[in-house]
Amino acid sequence: MIFSVGRILIILLLLTGCNRGNRADNQRELTVFAAASLTDAFLALAESFEAQNPDVQIILNFAGSSQLAAQLREGAPADLFASANPAQMQAVIAAGQVEPGSETEFATNQLTLVVPQDNPAEIAAFEDLARPNVGLILAVEGVPIRQYTDQILASMPGEFQDSFYANLLSEEDNVRQVLAKIALGEADAGIVYTSDITPDLDQEVREIAIPTGQNVVAAYSIAPLADTADSELSQRFINFVLSPAGQDILMSWGFGPKP
């Protein structure tokens, strides 16, 4: 009886066991923590990189940059961190997880209004967001998209800011959650990146541009973690992101070129 229990334990250990253990020796792994807004672009980048490097497997973890930064500060194992704003990259640098100066800006983005396809609150411009009875969804403080949104708001009159924030219904984890709530039609408007509105969402949401004068430029940076298990591979992935091929992929997903 006890021997069969022992056998079950061994099987369980094998099944759940460390995933480096049962991997072929020549297989290399690269764990990338990337901002939620990079989801589609980084999936495409990883696919292309893996095609060029058959011995490499890329593991992607997408979340709000602030959430990723918190995970990294708590010691989550990763090789690369791609942040949607400098602030969260700095937070990881300050915690000693990334060497100062090893970060590189690799893409830019712009903000846009997003409304459900049928636009129930008849939003036509940014100014409409402060109207009464408009239900607004933003990301929670600390998430880059929220920082950029607050930056736009800071240039507006105080009265406008008050009515704008009074319309807030919910503060989401990351920019894709904001988009999801709008796509579900649960709120009247949200603020996301232009790159977030992928062709898949055309049926659900509508984009209302924020004029360039009002808009801000979001700057994305990437850096290897100080304790990356494979610094050569980490650097190779960064070089690929910065290469013309990598930049083409980012631009095809709606990002602007590196600054």
Partner 1 sequence: MSRGQMLPALRPEKFRGWAAGGLATAMVLFLLIPFIGLIWRTLTLDGDAALNEPSIFSSLILSLGTTAITVALIVLFGTPLAFFLARNQFPFKRLVTLLIDIPIVMPPVVAGLALLSAFGRRGLIGQTLANLDITITFTAAAVVLAQLFVSSPFYIRAAQSSFESLPREYEDAAAVDGADRWTTFWYVILPQSARALLAGLILSWARALGEFGATILFAGNLQGRTQTMPLLVYGALERDLRVTFITALILLGMAIAAFALTRWLAGVDDTDGDS
Interface residues toward partner 1, by CB under 8 A: 1-2, 5-6, 64, 66-67, 69-70, 135, 137, 140-142, 168-173, 181, 184-187
Question: Judged by CB, which is closer to partner 1: 29, or 165?
Answer: 165
Name the nearest CA neighbour of 208 among 109, 124, 121, 110.
124
φ, ψ dihedrals at 258, nearest 5°: -60, 145
- Give 12 or 217: the residue with its C-beta nearer to partner 1: 12
Measuring CA to CA, how many Å separate 132 from each of 116, 151, 175, 188?
18, 22, 24, 12
Choose among 110, 89, 114, 108: nearest CA to 100. 89
Nearer to partner 1, 2 or 18 (CB): 2
Shortest Å distance, C-beta 155 to partner 1: 24
Tell me the C-alpha to C-alpha distance, in Å, between residue 195 and each of 84, 96, 155, 251: 12, 31, 24, 9
Count H helices and E strands in the chain, helices first: 9, 9
Shortest distance, CB of residue 92 to partner 1, whole angstroms?
Answer: 12
**DSSP characters for 163-219?**
HHHHTEEEEESSHHHHHHHHHTT-SSEEEEEGGG--GGGTTTEEEEEPPTTT--EEE
Comparing CB distances to partner 1, the nearer of 188 and 210 is: 188
Least Å distance, CB 225 to partner 1, is 17
Minimal distance, residue 70 CB to partner 1, in Å: 4
Half-sphere exposure of 252 toward its Cβ, with a 13 Å CA cutoff? 12
The least distance separating partner 1 from the CB of residue 125, rounded to whole angstroms, comes to 23
Indicate the residue among 61 and 215 with the shorter CB distance to partner 1: 61
Nearest approach, Cβ of residue 2 and partner 1 (Å) = 5
Q: Which is nearer to partner 1, 86 or 135 (CB)?
A: 135
